[in-house]
Structure 1
Amino acid sequence: MHAGQIRSIVDRLEVHIRNRTTFQLHRIDARPITLDEAYEIQAEIVARALRSGTESIAGYKVGLTTEKMQNFCGVSEPIGGRIFSSGVRESGATLRKADFHRLGVESELALRIGRSVPRTSDVSELIGCVDAIAAAFEVVDDRDADYAHLEASSIAAENSWNKGIVLGEAVPPAAFGDLRGLDGRLFVNGEQVATGSSSDVSSGPLSVLGWVAQFARENGEDLRPGQWIMTGSIIPTKFAVVGDSYSFQLGPLPAVTASIC
């Protein structure tokens, strides 16, 4: 796909977002875009944000890493995206529903990069690249997508729907082994509504770290110390209702909380 096509798609996308147009599958000459083309579109979105001078890449998200989420979206492969610095929030954040077309909250394990991530799938090497972990929410906006008609490429083109993250208190990872086996519980207004486990994520959270490191390299980037990696929701997306409060507890990690106004 040539640069003019990419710019034209992103121009239209920006108009749709401003006008709160319902999410649409991306097409070029009536054919679906490929995943590679989707990441070219995403790269243009990122480039425009960085050129504004007010944004930086605070981390990366990987979506659709669990069977629950793949079934929920009807998509069978993981997708990557960037997290912008303006979207990073601390636990206790209040999210304004009116700022989004359709606000979704996803419950995840977040990893903070402590040093460069090598080209490896060796868990013992990958864990050494993580200096902190936290329970976290990913903030997404699916623009009222029709979940009966989704595809990985169209979601990925729109930065995999990421609109930020809410981070719980960070703790060192040393006591948590390979980061599997952390049982998660999501509470809405104090009532437990769903459960999941960090073991549900792909081949484990550290495998996701290896995946996103490769994703970054393929896009001419490197993971940097201080960046956060969102490893995928272990609980299907919850769509926000004004007045709701969310609390996600993941093993012994400090809970992350958020409220909707």
Structure 2
Amino acid sequence: MHADQVRAIVDGFEAHVRNRTRFQLYRIDNRPATLDEAYAIQSEILTRALRSGTDSVAGYKVGLTTGKMQQFCGVNEPIAGRILKSGVHRSGATVRKSDFHRLGIESELALHIGKEIPALRPDTSAQELIGYVDAIAAAFEVIDDRDADYAHLEASSIAAENSWNRGMVLGEPVSPAAFGDLRELEGRLLVNGTQVATGSSSDVLSGPLFILAWIAGFARASGEALRPGQWIMTGSIIPTKFAVEGDTYTFQLGSLPAVTVRIR
């Protein structure tokens, strides 16, 4: 795919966002986009977002982290997106629904990178992986799926649009020292104080540290590296909830401090 073709596709994407056009599958020469082509589109979207010099990449999100969703979208690995600093909020933040086509929130575990991660061996242990993490937090990923038709999805089309990431809301970070391999952390999502869904950090493929290893490999293959200070969103523990104006969402994960976001 030529650079001018990528630019034309992103011009179309920006027009669709402005006009609130419903999410559409990406086609390159009348065929589905490959993941490599999708990441080229994502890279151009990111380049434009950073062009002013007032923003930066605060971390990465990982999507399609369950076998069921991978099978549904026809892939055998997760997909990645970049999180911009301008989209990072602290617990208690208020998010305006009208800023999105269709605002969704996903209940996740976020990992804070404490030191640069080198090329990892396939047999890197959980104990080694946790050594690169200096804090963890319950978090909400903020997404905009642009009213996608979930009966007709492709991983490449989602990845092209930065895997739908529009930011994150972070709970208070704590040391990971007491949480082992970060599996079996039970999650509870509350809406206006009433529990509506549960899940476990073990539901994210082989666990959050597997996700860390995967995204470290993805970044390296993309000519990047996970940097100290960046956050990694490890995938939804509870299915996406589409936000309702006036509601307050709270996610509790194990003994981590809860994270809350208000929608107006």
User: Is TM-score (shorter-chain normalized) higher than 0.5?
Assistant: yes
1:30 maps onto 2:30 in alignment: yes
Give TM-score scaled by structure 1 length: 0.97
1:115 equivalenced with 2:121 (yes/no): no
Residue 83 of structure 1 is matched in structure 2 by 83
| 1:220 aligned residue (216, 220, 223) | 223
AA partner of residue 111 (structure 1): L
After superposition, residues 201-212 of structure 1 pair within 5 angstroms as 201-212=204-215
Rounded to whole Å, the distance in 2 between the matches of 1:54 and 1:67 is 38
Q: CA deviation at 1:219?
A: 1.3
The aligned residue for residue 58 of structure 1 is 58
Q: CA deviation at 1:119?
A: 2.2
Q: Is 1:256–2:259 an aligned residue pair?
A: yes
Asked if the contact 1:90–1:167 (Cα under 8 Å) also holds between the matched residues in 2, the reply is: yes
Moved over 6 A (4+): none
1:139-188 alpha-carbon deviations (Å, 9 max, x no partner): 00000000000000000000000000000000000000111010000001
Q: What is the rounded CA distance, in whole Å, between the counterparts of 1:241 and 1:148 in structure 2?
A: 23
Question: C-alpha distance in 1, partners of 2:261/2:160?
Answer: 27
Deviation at 1:259, TM superposition (A): 0.8
Deviation at 1:74, TM superposition (A): 5.0
1:50 and 1:102 map into 2 onto residues whose CA distance is 24
Aligned residues: 260
User: Could you tell me which residue of structure 2 aligns to residue 96 of structure 1?
Assistant: 96
| Counterparts of 1:221 and 1:18, CA distance in 2 | 30
Q: 1:171 aligns with which of 164, 171, 174?
A: 174
Per-residue deviation, 1:46: 1.1
Moved more, 199-208 or 149-158: 199-208
SS at structure 2 position matched to 1:51: coil
Partners of 2:222 and 2:131 in 1: how far apart? 23
Q: How much has 1:67 moved relative to structure 2? A: 4.4
Quick one: distance in 1 between partners of 2:202 and 2:59? 22
The question of whether the paired residues in 2 share the 8 Å contact of 1:64 and 1:75 is answered with no
1:39 aligned residue:
39
What is the distance in 2 between the residues matched to 1:28 and 1:62?
24
Structure-2 separation of matches of 1:89 and 1:155: 23
Letter in 2 for 1:65: T
Q: Could you say what secondary structure the match of 1:148 adopts?
A: coil
Displacement of 1:128 in angstroms is 0.3
| Greater alpha carbon shift after TM alignment, 143-152 vs 116-125 | 116-125
Cα distance between partner residues in 1 of 2:73 and 2:58: 29
CA RMSD in angstroms, aligned pairs only = 1.3
Report deviation, 1:237. 0.3
1:122: how far off? 2.3
3-state DSSP of counterpart to 1:117: coil
Deviates more, 1:118-127 or 1:21-30: 118-127
2-structure distance, mates of 1:74, 1:235: 18
- Cα offset for 1:68? 6.3
1:69, distance to aligned residue in structure 2 (A): 5.2
1:196 counterpart (195, 199, 206): 199
CA distance in 2, matches of 1:232, 1:244: 23
Contact map agreement 1:74 1:148 (CA 8 A) in 2: no
Q: Is the 8 A contact 2:73 2:155 kept in 1?
A: no
Q: Which runs of 5+ in 1 are unaligned?
A: none
Secondary structure in 2 matching 1:146: coil
Aligned to 2:178, what secondary structure does the other structure show? helix
Which amino acid in 1 is paired with 2:94? T
